[in-house]
Structure 1
Amino acid sequence: MAPQHAQIYVNLPCKSLPASKAFFESLGYSFNPQFTNESGACLMLGGNIYAMLLTESFASGFTGKPLVDAKAATEVLVCLSCESREQVDELVAKAIAAGGTAPRAPQDHGFMYAHGFEDLDGHIWELVYMTGEPPQASAGT
Structure 2
Amino acid sequence: MSTMIFVNLPASDLDRSRAFYTALGCTINPLFTDENAICVVWSDDIFFMVLRREYFATFTDKQIVDPATSAQTSLGFSRTSRADVDAVVAAGAAAGGTELGDPKEHGFMYQRSIADPDGNALEFLYMEPEAAERGPDSYMEEQGGGDA
CA distance in 1, matches of 2:138, 2:66: 36
| Paired residue total | 136
CA distance in 1, matches of 2:74, 2:136: 20
CA shift for structure 1 position 24:
1.1
Residue of structure 2 in register with 1:135 after alignment: 137
Q: How does 1:1-141 map to 2 (within 5 A)?
A: 5-131=2-128, 132=131, 133-135=135-137
1:47 maps to a residue whose letter is: D
1:7 maps to a residue whose letter is: M
Q: Relative to total residues, which structure has the larger helix share, 1 or 2?
A: 2
Segments of 4+ moved more than 6 angstroms: none
Q: Any gaps of 5 or more consecutive residues in structure 2?
A: 142-148
CA distance in 2, matches of 1:137, 1:35: 43
How big is the alpha-carbon RMSD for the aligned residues of Structure 1 and Structure 2? 1.6
CA shift for structure 1 position 47:
3.3
CA distance in 1, matches of 2:84, 2:35: 31
Q: Any gaps of 5 or more consecutive residues in structure 1?
A: none
- Structure with higher Rg: it is 2
- Give TM-score, length-normalised by structure 1: 0.90
In structure 2, do the counterparts of structure 1 residues 40 and 136 end up closer, same or farther at CA, with 3 Å as the change threshold? same
